Amino acid sequence: MNLSVTKDKIAELKRISIEIRKLIVETVYYAKAGHMGGPMSAVDMLVNLYFNELNINPENPLSSDRDRFVLSKGHSAVALYAVLARRGYFPMEELKTFDAINSRLQAHPDMNALPGLDMSTGSLGMGLSAAVGIALGAKLQKKDFRTYCMVGDGESQEGQIWEAADIASKYKVDNLVAILDYNKLQQFGWVGEEASRANPVVDPEKRWKAFGWNVVNIDGHDHEQISSAFQKAREVTGKPTMIIASTIKGKGVTFMENAYLWHSRVPTDEEYKQAIQELEELGAKQ
């Protein structure tokens, strides 16, 4: 664990994570559109990044010295929007405009529309390439900022992910940290009943190590482990770091957890009430 992260800070991060999960459910329910499962699995890493790890300032979102973040799995944008709003990049009320015509909060992130976004994403596989380019550019310009990128495990079937992985290793881009949201469940890609669904990425640790990356395995819902992984990544030189974060798709709502149909589904009125109730009860236990 990063010694600078206190028990009180960990408790705060846990509380914020529950808040963000509620915001995701509310936003998708209000918009009657959006993804649920992937955003819910990604929450704890995003919260830790924006409320603990990243060197950022919402009042100066274009600071040249800021750390950068790329959400390569851009379809999970609603989670990032909720975090950015809670962090102060734009009014919380704007979440109600998600996916509406002319909204700054489209289904996939648009860096030209919303402050706090460092890359437009959504075409799977491309975000890591952008992050490698940003990190390499920082090295060439002798800048100290770090670059972070979240990749989906289903997305990791894209060849461009591995081309980017190879280049990052070749040029020793040690100011780059990638996070694999390893929820082991994607929307499409298998034949057969749900019970026979296969893990979209087999043995990611061996794969990333084979490409020359430093690899750290964590529970992606444990803020102490997340904080420690980021600290370990800072201590590595000569190679990029991949944090393999084992997560649960739909984390926080029992009927959504590990259910592939919640990859992209809008809750009914009753499902919405149940989800919010479960999250409020979870928050009361913190």
pLDDT (0 to 100) of residue 195: 52
- Both tokens of 50, joined, read 């924006």
Q: What residues of the chain score a pLDDT lower than 70? A: 1-4, 187-198
Q: By C-alpha distance, which of 198, 145, 164 is closest to 72?
A: 164
Give the predicted TM-score (pTM) of the model.
0.94
Q: Hey, what domains does the chain have and what are their CATH numbers?
A: 7-284 (3.40.50.970)
Helices 7-31 and 37-48: crossing angle in degrees, nearest 10, is: 150
- Extended strands (E) in the chain: 68-71, 147-152, 176-182, 214-219, 241-246
pLDDT (0 to 100) of residue 259: 86
pLDDT (0 to 100) of residue 1: 39
Distance, CA of 209 to CA of 221 (rounded, Å): 23
pLDDT (0 to 100) of residue 39: 96
Question: What phi, psi does 243 have (nearest 5°)?
Answer: -100, 110
pLDDT (0 to 100) of residue 191: 52
Distance, CA of 204 to CA of 201 (rounded, Å): 6
- Both tokens of 74, joined, read 């851009």
Q: By C-alpha distance, which of 87, 85, 112 is closest to 98?
A: 85
Q: Running DSSP on this structure, what letter comes out for residue 264?
A: S
Instruction: Give residue-wise pLDDT tens across range 73-111.
Output: 999 999 999 999 999 999 999 999 999 999 999 999 999
pLDDT (0 to 100) of residue 283: 87
Q: Which of 130-133's residues contact partners 24+ apart within 8 Å by CB, and which partners?
A: 130/70, 130/72, 131/68, 131/70, 131/72, 131/164, 131/176, 131/178, 132/164, 132/167, 132/168, 132/173, 132/176, 132/240
Distance, CA of 134 to CA of 127 (rounded, Å): 11
pLDDT (0 to 100) of residue 190: 54
Instruction: Give residue-wise pLDDT tens across range 47-58.
Output: 999 999 999 999
